[in-house]
């Protein structure tokens, strides 16, 4: 066990985590020339197309150091704030972390928040200064930043370049010398932590685990503590590029187990695996439950696909434990699910994965956050509002509380004014401003979560010319003046387009929404009024004009009463049509509400 090292790689987006993982795999000879490709561990099409890591990926390498063979278990993690739950799970399964900082971009917001996650779990941190071969790199300054942040010695920072392979030998030596070997006892009852799982259509659920105590052997009768169910370990093994079956995996090591589980619900990430005959008495303190930040409804395009969508969501939840969903129904869209996501990118990725991996075409409603409402009848009882239609009537409402976050933004000092005006426009209050260097500033704001859900991140990148990095953490609920803006099409409320907004912005948002919908909803045979309303009060209106046939075309010359008769007849038909007609809303209309500023 003293020759095993478990470590993960943490960094901000685009600081070179996946490329460094490639170099480590090359250097230790874990991949053949045939298997080599860039971002080798990012095995999802979506990850390759967007150039981001979405899932954390575990892989085992073998390396000989000073004549002794070592086993290195590496977990490559995502850098985007929306996938921080993946990072927190990988950290629990490790003893050390490589903290990678880009020599050209220096320390960013996500670097700091991932670092705190690692320090909370007492991980040994190895700072790596990456991309020192870039012409724009300033290694001395960034090394000083790292020393200030970690309180370490400048000699402990390893300069490297994942592209050219510079410094890889030093990193591997540091992993072996600085990261402690796993602690654990092989003779105790089996105790293993599930940190990830994937659904394989041919073999059922593959569960990835880290053994803390005891050992797991092929064919052993094992038990999952949270669900209390027993299984046989049909196959166990280690994760290299392909899966390598083994007879047994001992304490300190990472591996996978296939038990032939077909039901996705039976595997919970963070659960403990133990021996069925001789179970361990204490379950491992897993990770805290995930807190979804953004809620949206996901509905099948065809209501008959509801059960199929449920099965797809369960399989997807296995692979992405931060997805939370509950059944709900909507008058406009039928049966579907209310889903919780960690952010807008997460929502986009889930929607894309449902379409690609499970061939499910879905409609997503306007995302929103979860509010707490209190009524006059009993002001102490909380009504949780996940959906705008759950908000009590304005006449009975006492107050509404909305979730606030503490936002940390690191940017260049030139853009401080732009960033501040954006945050103040989004109802933010500045709480702190620190100059990290003369060039870089850290700004702290208290902001309503609802304001950053839609387009905040994109606009922040625009006003700072791409130089701002952003991270946030929830700080609780605060009372706020919120109203529900309903959209009426042809005098019918469309519940899927309702939104909860701050009273001061209600009029502008209502106006923008009606204008946007006027462009997007196709014209019908009759006039369609598009209205925005708060309760019974209409605050904005647009009209989508009717398509009409020129019924008077065949009368050239002739009496006006003849033309009038034909037009009256057409008008009656249109009126009747408007009473029975219903308006189809295209999917873009639901998503357009998010892009009101475009």
Measured in residues, the chain has a length of 598
Beta carbons of 392 and 381 less than 8 angstroms apart: no
In angstroms, the CA 356 to CA 314 distance is 15
Would you say 343 is a known binding-site residue? no
414 is in an annotated binding site: no
**Six token digits for residue 308:** 């199929």
Neighbours of 325 (CB within 10 A): 22
Rg (CA), the chain: 28
Residues linked to residue 350 through DSSP beta bridges, in sequence order:
none
Please tell me whether residue 368 adopts helix, strand or coil conformation. Answer: strand
Tokens of 585: 């809303």
Residues 394 and 413: beta-carbon distance below 8 Å: no
Whether 370 and 402 have beta carbons less than 8 Å apart is answered as: no
- Cα 496–Cα 535–Cα 509 angle in degrees, nearest 5: 60
Q: Return the structure tokens found at 499.
A: 């939104």
Tell whether 14 is in a known binding site: yes
Ligand-binding site membership of 575 (annotated):
no
Per the structure block, which two tokens stand in for 26?
């090359």
Question: Is 80 flagged in the annotation as binding?
Answer: no
- Cα 563 to Cα 262, 527, 529, 547, distances in angstroms: 70, 21, 27, 19
* 493 beta partners: 488
The token duo for 377 is 């009848």
Q: Cα–Cα–Cα angle for 248, 179, 61, nearest 5°?
A: 45
N- to C-terminal Cα distance for the chain? Answer: 57
**Residues 6+ positions from 146 with CB-CB distance below 8 Å:** 99, 101, 107, 127, 129, 152, 157
Q: Is 435 exposed, middle or buried (0-12, 13-18, 19+ CB in 10 A)?
A: exposed
Contact 117, 84 (CB under 8 A): yes
Structural contact between residues 154 and 147, judged by C-beta atoms closer than 8 angstroms: yes
Residue 527 marked as a ligand binder: no
**Alpha-carbon span 354 to 360, nearest angstrom:** 6
Q: What is the 3-state secondary structure (H, E, C) of 268-321?
A: CCCCEEEECCCCCCCCCCCCCCCCCCEEEEEEECCHHHHHHHHHHHHHHHHHCC
Classify residue 73 by burial, with Cβ atoms within 10 Å: 0-12, 13-18, 19+.
buried
389 is in an annotated binding site: no
- Return the residue matching tokens 């045979």: 525
List residues forming the annotated binding site. Answer: 14-19, 130-133
List residues forming the annotated binding site for GTP. Answer: 14-19, 130-133
């Amino acid at each position: 066990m003293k020759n095993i090292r478990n470590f993960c790689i943490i960094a901000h987006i685009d600081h070179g985590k996946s490329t460094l993982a490639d170099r480590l795999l090359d250097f230790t000879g874990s991949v053949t020339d045939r298997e080599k490709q860039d971002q080798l561990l990012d095995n999802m099409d979506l990850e390759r197309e967007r150039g981001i890591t979405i899932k954390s990926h575990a892989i085992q390498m073998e390396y000989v150091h000073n004549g002794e063979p070592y086993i290195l278990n590496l977990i490559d993690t995502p850098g985007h704030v929306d996938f921080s739950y993946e990072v927190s799970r990988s950290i629990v399964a490790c003893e050390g972390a490589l903290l990678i900082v880009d020599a050209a971009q220096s320390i960013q917001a996500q670097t700091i928040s991932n670092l705190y996650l690692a320090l909370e779990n007492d991980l040994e941190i190895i700072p790596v200064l990456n991309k020192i071969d870039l012409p724009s790199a300033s290694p001395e300054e960034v090394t000083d930043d790292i020393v200030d942040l970690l309180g370490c010695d400048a000699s402990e920072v390893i300069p490297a370049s994942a592209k050219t392979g510079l410094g890889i030998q030093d990193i591997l030596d540091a992993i072996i010398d600085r990261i402690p070997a796993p602690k654990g006892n092989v003779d105790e009852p089996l105790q293993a932590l599930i940190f990830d799982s994937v659904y394989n259509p041919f073999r059922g659920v593959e569960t990835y685990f880290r053994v803390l105590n005891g050992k797991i052997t092929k064919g052993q009768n094992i038990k999952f503590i949270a669900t209390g169910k027993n299984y046989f370990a049909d196959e166990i093994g280690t994760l290299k590029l392909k899966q390598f079956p083994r007879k047994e995996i001992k304490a300190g090591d990472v591996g996978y187990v296939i038990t032939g589980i077909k039901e996705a619900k039976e595997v919970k990430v963070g659960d403990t695996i133990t021996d069925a005959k001789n179970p361990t008495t204490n379950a491992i303190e897993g990770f805290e439950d995930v807190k979804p930040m953004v809620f949206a409804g996901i509905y099948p395009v065809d209501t008959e696909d509801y059960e199929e969508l449920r099965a797809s969501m369960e399989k997807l939840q296995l692979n992405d434990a931060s997805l939370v969903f509950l059944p709900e129904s909507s008058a406009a869209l039928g049966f579907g699910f209310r889903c919780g996501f960690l952010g807008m990118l997460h929502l986009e990725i889930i929607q894309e994965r449902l379409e690609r991996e499970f061939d499910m075409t879905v409609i997503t409603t306007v995302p929103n956050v979860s509010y707490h409402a209190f009524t006059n009848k009993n002001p102490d009882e909380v009504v949780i509002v996940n959906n705008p239609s759950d908000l009590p009537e304005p006449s009975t409402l006492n107050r509404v509380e909305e979730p606030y976050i503490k936002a940390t933004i690191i940017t260049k000092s030139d853009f401080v004014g732009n960033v501040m005006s954006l945050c103040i426009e989004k109802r933010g209050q500045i709480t702190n401003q620190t100059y990290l260097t003369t060039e870089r500033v850290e700004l702290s704001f208290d902001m309503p979560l609802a304001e950053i859900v839609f387009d905040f991140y994109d606009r922040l990148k625009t006003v700072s010319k791409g130089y701002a990095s952003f991270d946030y953490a929830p700080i609780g609920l605060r009372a706020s003046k919120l109203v529900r803006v309903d959209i009426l099409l042809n005098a019918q409320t469309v519940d899927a387009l309702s939104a909860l907004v701050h009273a001061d912005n209600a009029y502008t948002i209502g106006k923008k929404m009606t204008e946007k919908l006027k462009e997007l909803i196709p014209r019908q045979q009759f006039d369609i009024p598009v209205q925005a309303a708060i309760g019974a009060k209409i605050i904005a209106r647009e009209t989508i004009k009717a398509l009409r046939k020129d019924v008077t075309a065949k009368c050239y010359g002739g009496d006006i009463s003849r033309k009038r008769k034909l037009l009256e007849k057409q008008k009656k038909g249109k009126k009747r049509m408007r009473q029975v007609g219903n308006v189809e809303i295209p999917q873009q209309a639901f998503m357009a509400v998010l892009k009101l500023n475009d």
